Structure 1
Amino acid sequence: MVERANKPKTLVSTPGFAPQATVTFSEDNSRVRAELPTGESVEVLLHGATVISWKDAAGDEKLWLSDAAKLDGSKAVRGGIPLVFPVFGTAPDHEQTKTLPQHGFARTSRWEFLGKSTSEDSFSLSSASVKLDFGLSSAAAGLDPLARERWPYAFNLIYSVTLTRDSLSTGLVVTNDGEKPFDCQVLFHTYLRVKDINEVAIAGLASTPYVDKVSPAASAPHDDPLAIAAETDRVYTPASASAAVTVSESGEPKFRITRDNLSDVVVWNPWTDKAAGMADFEPKDGFRQMLCIEPGSVSGWQVLEQGDAFEGAQTITLA
């Protein structure tokens, strides 16, 4: 064989194309992990389609997860981003959902992983993103058996988790696939990780009406910023559905939360006594390192007729 002097070299990679996000499964197929080529990552437990981790490129965790959280499918996860559907809390006076467990069944059912998609711009690392899609329906094998018995409606849920270099988005599409109309509520129960709750300030809820579940008599609108110094459980309904909520710590912006078609924002921290009474909340002083900012549609009901769909989403951007 004659060797050519100008023999072309083997290409190590396709020229001009940036590395792509990777998606992997755990050995027991209980969770999905996506990582951008720049190091940012997200991990989703198929039980509840619960986001249990979101890290930046340096590996710093952005979500709070209880040390005692059950990740084996035995109960809802304490921490991360549990998904609330079709009822927020309990609704003993609402005929369709009065017998459902607290926060419904989406967070206690096993979802199906539907696939991934990546950003169209394959030439730039700065715009890299990955979207993970999950599904749950009334016909799914993973549906909580209690839900099938107590909520006999034909529905389909598509849940999307999108990771970019500086943000995490979660979005849910609810479709009525049956002949009977149904009512529903939706909420993303997001546990944000902070260093010290005493140094946290929340802006964007000034002069906003809210329902205070801890002290109903104290539900007067307030000025910015909002500080957390005791048990807090409030449902805010901002006048503008597009208004952002900003979380700062020690005077420095940390998170910016925006909503799409979600009218409400729940602010929650269990503080000392409440945390002490929850078996799956560890460490007991963990309330000092977490804050729940929960976009949702929970102050009323979405009524879906046959073929109707409801869609809502949140985006958490690192400030």
Structure 2
Amino acid sequence: MVGRPNRPSALSATPGLAPQPQVTFSDDNSRVSAVLPTGESVTVLLYGATVTSWTDATGAEKLWLSSAAHLDGTKAVRGGIPLVFPVFGTAPDHAQTGKLPQHGFARTSRWEFLGKSTSESAGGSGAADLTAKLDFGLSAAGLDEAARKLWPFAFNLIYSVNLNRESLTTSLVVTNDDDKAFDCQVLMHTYLRVKDISNVEVLGLESAEYVDKVDGAKTKTQAAAVTITGETDRVYTPAGEAVTVVEGGKKTYSVTRDNLSNVVVWNPWTDKAAGMGDFEPKDGYKNMLCIEPGSVSGWQSLEPGDAYEGAQTITYYS
């Protein structure tokens, strides 16, 4: 071959696409995981569309998951981010949801994986700014017969889990596909992992009213930062959108709500943890704090064709 001094460079030297997020299924197709090129990851169990893991680039876990959690589809998952719909707790006096089990059926139904997408976060470029979005769906057709009898409405849920380098966003869209109105409540039961609950403060709830479910559902007002010194189960209605978790004087997480009016703060403490068979280790309450954005102090009433959307964004600080 005659040499050409100005011949094109070899194809292998041509710049290619930046590394892309990788999305994989488990061997038994029970869960889907996304990993960013920079190492952050999220795993979602199709049973309940439950986020069971969220790690940073070093592999450090941000969510608390009980070592005795049921991950085989036999029971709602203890830990991670279970979804509450269409009722928070139980509502025996509510005509439409009064017969449903605690926290409804979303967390105990198998969801359909609808697909993935990737994008570049605002203001950035390259692999370090890529995000991965996973979408899941559940409709009346996906419920078991018992659940359909207890809540006989046509509906559609789209749940999106969006992973980027410093944060995780989960959003739920509820659509009424029925010919009659229905009421619903929504909550994202997020278990954050902390090092030592005795060193934790929650900011952003000062001056907010809350219902203290440990003290006879009395309505109270938060005077200062929230600290956890015993069993805690409170439904706050704060004015601001963001709640900050501080541990040992250092900001660890912020949780920002979008169109979700309430924040539940929950920790079972010693006695309640001991009484839950799927809560392990029993002293695990020292390493978790539930900050749960939701719309649960009243009802979202959706007319036929109406939709409701709520979301949370959890940001961690290294």
Range of TM-score over shorter length: over 0.9
Deviations 1:241-280 (A, max 9, x none): xx21000111100000000000000000000010011000
Matched AA of 2:9: P
Matched AA of 1:92: P
**In the superposition, relative to structure 1, how do residues 109 and 14 fare at CA in structure 2: closer, same or farther (>3 Å)?**
farther
Q: In structure 1, what is the Cα distance between the partners aligned to 2:158 and 2:70?
A: 24
Q: Is it true that 1:179 corresponds to 2:171 in the alignment?
A: no
8 A Cα contact 1:18 1:123, kept in partner: no
8 A Cα contact 1:105 1:144, kept in partner: no
Equivalent residue for 2:71?
A: 71
SS at match of 1:162: strand
8 A Cα contact 1:272 1:285, kept in partner: yes
SS at match of 2:104: coil
Q: In structure 2, what is the Cα distance between the partners aligned to 1:13 and 1:219?
A: 65
Match of 1:265 among 263, 278, 281: 263
Equivalent residue for 1:233?
A: 233
Match of 1:139 among 141, 159, 164: 141
SS at match of 1:234: strand
Q: In structure 2, what is the Cα distance between the partners aligned to 1:300 and 1:13?
A: 58
Give aligned pairs, total. Answer: 314
SS at match of 1:119: strand
SS at match of 1:180: coil
8 A Cα contact 1:265 1:293, kept in partner: yes
Matched AA of 2:140: S
Matched AA of 1:273: D
TM-superposed CA distance for 1:9, in Å, is: 1.2
60-69 vs 6-15, which deviates more? 6-15
Q: In structure 1, what is the Cα distance between the partners aligned to 2:260 and 2:101?
A: 23
Equivalent residue for 1:317?
A: 315
Equivalent residue for 1:10?
A: 11
TM-superposed CA distance for 1:18, in Å, is: 2.2
Q: How many percent of aligned residue pairs carry the same amino acid?
A: 69
TM-score between both structures, scaled by the size of structure 1: 0.95
Gaps of 5+ in 2: none
For 1:59-138, list aligned pairs within 5 A. 59-120=59-120, 123-138=125-140
Q: In structure 1, what is the Cα distance between the partners aligned to 2:187 and 2:220?
A: 23
SS at match of 1:307: coil
8 A Cα contact 1:108 1:144, kept in partner: no
Gaps of 5+ in 1: none
Q: In structure 1, what is the Cα distance between the partners aligned to 2:300 and 2:62?
A: 31
**In the superposition, relative to structure 1, how do residues 152 and 3 fare at CA in structure 2: closer, same or farther (>3 Å)?**
farther
Q: In structure 1, what is the Cα distance between the partners aligned to 2:4 and 2:196?
A: 67
TM-superposed CA distance for 1:146, in Å, is: 2.2
TM-superposed CA distance for 1:215, in Å, is: 1.0
Q: In structure 1, what is the Cα distance between the partners aligned to 2:277 and 2:315?
A: 31
TM-superposed CA distance for 1:20, in Å, is: 1.0
Match of 2:251 among 244, 250, 253: 253
Q: In structure 2, what is the Cα distance between the partners aligned to 1:28 and 1:14?
A: 37
CA RMSD of aligned residues (A): 1.6
SS at match of 1:32: strand
TM-superposed CA distance for 1:4, in Å, is: 5.8
**In the superposition, relative to structure 1, how do residues 250 and 184 fare at CA in structure 2: closer, same or farther (>3 Å)?**
same
Q: In structure 1, what is the Cα distance between the partners aligned to 2:199 and 2:218?
A: 22
